[in-house]
Amino acid sequence: MAVRPSSKQIIVNQAYELVMANGFAGTSIDMILDACGLTKGAFFYHFKSKAELGVAIAKRYVDQDNSFFVRFMVDVGRKTDDPLQRVLLFLESLANSYTSRPRPPGCLFASFSYDNHTLEMAEFMKTWTMRWRSHYGRMFKAISQKYEPLIEIDEDELGDHFICIIQGGYVLSRIYNKPEQVAMHLRHLMNYVTLIYGKPVEPELAEPRTTEGVA
Amino acid sequence: MAVRPSSKQIIVNQAYELVMANGFAGTSIDMILDACGLTKGAFFYHFKSKAELGVAIAKRYVDQDNSFFVRFMVDVGRKTDDPLQRVLLFLESLANSYTSRPRPPGCLFASFSYDNHTLEMAEFMKTWTMRWRSHYGRMFKAISQKYEPLIEIDEDELGDHFICIIQGGYVLSRIYNKPEQVAMHLRHLMNYVTLIYGKPVEPELAEPRTTEGVA
Amino acid sequence: MAVRPSSKQIIVNQAYELVMANGFAGTSIDMILDACGLTKGAFFYHFKSKAELGVAIAKRYVDQDNSFFVRFMVDVGRKTDDPLQRVLLFLESLANSYTSRPRPPGCLFASFSYDNHTLEMAEFMKTWTMRWRSHYGRMFKAISQKYEPLIEIDEDELGDHFICIIQGGYVLSRIYNKPEQVAMHLRHLMNYVTLIYGKPVEPELAEPRTTEGVA
Amino acid sequence: MAVRPSSKQIIVNQAYELVMANGFAGTSIDMILDACGLTKGAFFYHFKSKAELGVAIAKRYVDQDNSFFVRFMVDVGRKTDDPLQRVLLFLESLANSYTSRPRPPGCLFASFSYDNHTLEMAEFMKTWTMRWRSHYGRMFKAISQKYEPLIEIDEDELGDHFICIIQGGYVLSRIYNKPEQVAMHLRHLMNYVTLIYGKPVEPELAEPRTTEGVA
DNA sequence: ACAAGCGGGACTACCCGTTGTT
DNA sequence: AACAACGGGTAGTCCCGCTTGT
């Protein structure tokens, strides 16, 4: 059932791990190939340049990131129909997922935002981040239809703010070398949301959940 | 008065700019030297290795960053004695400072957190970030002595959260290529603080302020 | 009638064009294959090495070159029986063939003489060039049987001199990027022959002729 | 007195020899550096690319070629004032210089014309070749002022024709692997010139001369 | 306090040739 | 007859570290 991944996939996977640890410029092709047990011939058969590998990594990251967050939202969707509860549960279980990691998490886009500079990549990152922004924005819009916010807010901005806190949490968790740091910041976001909509989470629904290896 | 900067300073300054744009691994000594109009001889007279330059850049960044934020706090301190107003004014004027920049801001530590990995540097970054954390934590403690928070909070965590939002805002402003993005997230933090302490900012004290070049 | 060329022929043809433009060492197998829309498998099925391709190109060049020059000689042979007239007409119509080319001509052997160095190839080139030398030498011998040369000459050397002027003309036409340069030098050879045998060409027999693509 | 040549000069000299033997594309930087006993560091300090080395080689070739031919012309100028005699003596002694070489001569421009393709180089080669053309053209114009040519000729074309025969002779001498081949073709040019101007060379002035290493 | 020069190695890119499969 | 995939090595580029000279 579990098919052996193709060489190309192996390269992308290993490259992703290494880039997260050392940055794109700090990761050499040789490093990646050593980790894969492959040679230059294989690499340049599958990718015509390192930049092309960068794009492939980014695409893989998006896929993985999407499925990671979607899984939480699907789980949460099964537990309650209340949009506010959904968001709070989502944040809660997400926060919990960061408490048991061996290494600090990180976002590939953040890494690239500080060292990669092809236009194609910039465009790609912008497009996907805005997609996420409006995706989370819709979550908050669903809340606003049922609950009156105490202050005037733009739900898309709140979506962006969620991403902002994830990104900032990642950076700090790397600086402090404490993966669980992200959880704390997510809980502050939960506070913020709760205060905005004037209704606390019902804790009996929350349930820890551990997940592996992804951001 | 304005002394011509020494070669060493020129190198550090140029290196800082280039590292913010291309990452540390993506910035070569030759690149820096070209930008300075100097040669290897000069570089290796002042620094015994590239890693040492990294440390120098980090130190320069800390100095600059400190003075940047301190300036806002001093200004704000002159306008009001109320600790809550101080924080809100601080955040407001800081937010305004991000609305008129030519390029998106960035934090050297964030960049390093994704690509630079000497132990010395990690320690250095951790130390300073924690110092900032407790510095901002004290700001919030001052508020808590006067105002009762509506929810239970840890003021040091709030200090950390401030840094978190700055970092996340930087990353997003780079991805969107919109410097003003940071301001929006700071205003959400202002909302959060206001909701926690149950008291809004008095807008007549707020006053725009433009600042140049630093994060 | 016009059969679709086999893959092998396609490879040789494309390779020939590319080698004329970039030299043998400057033409990679991948380049050729890209131009053909084929892959390594096809190449190494037909040729066991790049050197073998070199030989195939050389043979194709010889065939094409032979038929190119023979066509002129046959045409000329139909117009007059006088050996001197034949040579002058041959040179004249050959010269005309160089006046309407899109790109400067070139000789594969010349290219190889400056960058390809297998013994087999050297032998091959030498053999064929000497064959041409004596072929053209016979043309001049036919003249000498009818006309007394004003100066002492070796007809085989004259044959060689013809090749020499073609080669030199090619080189100059490439340097100047002017295909028609070759014609001028051929007309000087016509002058030379005329002066040697003391008899000018009868111009009414000359007739322009356009030819395509070959050297 | 004979200063030790600089590393840069050593590289250019060795590179020139190797390019003449293997072509530009067929000569690797490592090959050159092995021959020089230097390393990549030295090479890329002096040249920012292989193409830049190409230009340096071409310039060196031009210098050397100029001085080579000028030496013959100066020698000849001392022996006679008659322009026709000068040219014939020049060709004669030049021809002699090709009879005692260990390896066939070659022209760097010819080599480049078949494998090098930067625009800068093309322009450079064209410029210098036209300069030579008109230089030799002036030689023939000097003759025409004293002697009436038997046929209508353009002296600049004759200058070009001289270069053409040199180039063609080089190619053939490489194909036949016979350096002395060039001499034969030069003597045919002497015949041609003699026939044009109706006056033979006075042989008692001719005197063999050996020269080394250059084209 | 810097300029010039260079050693030696690492990096990306690409090359030629092979293998297994269809 | 041809393709996908890859091994293993090389090419051109560039980089960091160091020395020597002024």
D50 Cβ within 7 A of any nucleic strand F atom: yes
Q: Gap from B33 CA to E20 C1', in Å?
A: 52
Model confidence at B210: pLDDT above 50: no
Q: How many CB atoms lie within 10 A of CB C19?
A: 28
Q: Gap from D54 CA to E2 C1', in Å?
A: 32
Mean pLDDT of B57-80: 93
Q: Gap from C28 CA to F16 C1', in Å?
A: 33
Residues of chain A with pLDDT under 70: 1-5, 199-215
Instruction: Please give, rounded to a whole number of angstroms, the shortest distance from the CA of A134 to a CA of chain B.
Output: 14
Mutation target to probe the B interface, by most B beta carbons within 10 A, among A132, A133, A152, A171 is: A171
A192 → closest Cβ in B22, B116, B192: B192
Helices (H) and strands (E) in chain B, counts: 9, 0
CB C18 within 8 A of CB C83: no
Q: Check residue D124 and give left, alpha or beta (phi > 0: left; psi -120 to 50: alpha).
A: alpha
- Tell me the pLDDT tens digit for each residue of C153-199: 999 999 999 999 999 999 999 999 999 999 999 999 999 999 999 85
Contact C109 D175 (CB under 8 A): yes
Start-to-end C-alpha separation, chain D: 26
> Any idea which of B152-161, C38-47, D122-131, D201-210 has the lowest mean pLDDT?
D201-210
Nucleotide nearest to D47 (CA to C1'): F13
B165 → closest Cβ in A125, A153, A165: A165
Q: Is the dihedral of CA A83, A89, A95, A98 positive or negative?
A: negative
Burial class of C46 by CB neighbour count within 10 A (0 to 12, 13 to 18, 19+): middle
Q: Which two tokens stand for residue D198?
A: 């109706």
Q: Gap from C55 CA to E17 C1', in Å?
A: 18
C203-207 own/partner pairs: CB under 8 Å, 24+ apart: C205/C79, C205/C80, C205/C85, C205/C89, C206/C89, C206/C92, C206/C93, C207/C79, C207/C93
Mutation target to probe the C interface, by most C beta carbons within 10 A, among D16, D22, D27, D114 is: D114
C175 → closest Cβ in D125, D192, D194: D125
Cβ contacts (< 8 Å) between C106 and chain D: which residues?
114
- Closest residue by Cα to the C1' atom of nucleotide E2? B42
Instruction: Please give, rounded to a whole number of angstroms, the shortest distance from the CA of B10 to a CA of chain A.
Output: 22
**Helix, strand or coil, per DSSP, at residue B158:** helix
D34 Cβ within 7 A of any nucleic strand F atom: no
Q: Gap from A129 CA to F11 C1', in Å?
A: 40
Nucleotide nearest to D42 (CA to C1'): E6
Q: Which residues contact A49 (CB under 8 A, 6 or more apart)?
A: none
- The residue ranking higher by pLDDT, D5 or A191, is A191
Mutation target to probe the C interface, by most C beta carbons within 10 A, among D131, D157, D175, D194 is: D175
Instruction: Quote the CA–CA distance of A15 and A28 in Å, as a whole number.
Output: 9
Q: Using CA coordinates, name the residue in chain C closest to D150.
A: C195
Instruction: Quote the CA–CA distance of C142 and C73 in Å, as a whole number.
Output: 14
Size of interface A-B (CB pairs under 8 A): 158
Burial B176-208 (b: 16+ CB within 10 A, else e): bebbbbbbbbbebbbbbbbbbbebebeeebbee
Model confidence at D208: pLDDT above 70: no
Instruction: Quote the CA–CA distance of A87 and A94 in Å, as a whole number.
Output: 10
Residue C56 is inside which H or E element, if any?
Answer: helix C50-79
- Closest residue by Cα to the C1' atom of nucleotide F18? B44
CA A38 to mean position of chain CA atoms: 29
Predicted pLDDT of residue B3: 53
Q: Which residues contact B21 (CB under 8 A, 6 or more apart)?
A: A117, B27
Closest CA to B176 of A59, A19, A124: A124
Q: Which two tokens stand for residue B200?
A: 């809004």
Torsions phi, psi for C212 (to 5 deg): -115, 140
Start-to-end C-alpha separation, chain A: 26
Nucleotides of E under 7 A from a protein CB: 1-20
Nucleotide nearest to C30 (CA to C1'): E15
Cβ contacts (< 8 Å) between B172 and chain A: which residues?
129, 160, 163-164, 167
A176 Cβ within 7 A of any nucleic strand F atom: no
The CA-based angle D19-D23-D25, given to 5 degrees, is 105
Q: Which residues contact C39 (CB under 8 A, 6 or more apart)?
A: C33
Q: Using CA coordinates, name the residue in chain B closest to A125.
A: B175
Instruction: Give the helix ranges, DSSP H, for A23-105.
Output: 29-36, 40-46, 50-79, 83-97
Predicted pLDDT of residue A4: 57
- Report residue D198's pLDDT band, with 50, 70 and 90 as the boundaries: confident
Mean pLDDT of B68-72: 91
CB A93 within 8 A of CB A85: no
CB A24 within 8 A of CB A111: yes
How long, in residues, is chain A? Answer: 215
CB B215 within 8 A of CB A171: no
Q: Is the pTM of this model over 0.85?
A: yes
CB B57 within 8 A of CB B19: yes
- Tell me the pLDDT tens digit for each residue of A173-192: 999 999 999 999 999 999 99
Model confidence at C204: pLDDT above 50: no
Burial D107-121 (b: 16+ CB within 10 A, else e): bbbbbbbbbbbeeeb
Mean pLDDT of B138-164: 96
Closest CA to D86 of D131, D18, D145, D165: D145
Percent helix / strand / coil, chain A, rounded to 5: 70, 0, 30
Model confidence at B199: pLDDT above 70: no
- Report residue C212's pLDDT band, with 50, 70 and 90 as the boundaries: very low
CB C109 within 8 A of CB D175: yes
> Any idea which of B95-99, D11-15, D172-176, D211-215 has the lowest mean pLDDT?
D211-215
Indicate the DSSP class of residue C5.
P
- Tokens 């002036």: give the residue: D138
Model confidence at C24: pLDDT above 80: yes
Predicted pLDDT of residue B198: 82
Q: Gap from D44 CA to F14 C1', in Å?
A: 8
Closest CA to A80 of A125, A38, A142, A19: A142
Predicted pLDDT of residue D199: 57
Q: Which two tokens stand for residue D86?
A: 């000068």
Predicted pLDDT of residue B53: 94
Predicted pLDDT of residue A6: 85
Chain B and chain A touch, per 3+ beta carbon pairs within 8 A: yes
C134-137 own/partner pairs: CB under 8 Å, 24+ apart: C134/C159, C135/C159, C136/C160, C136/C162, C136/C163
- Tell me the pLDDT tens digit for each residue of D177-191: 999 999 999 999 999
Give the CA count within 13 Å in the CB-facing half-sphere of D207: 7
Contact C23 D22 (CB under 8 A): no
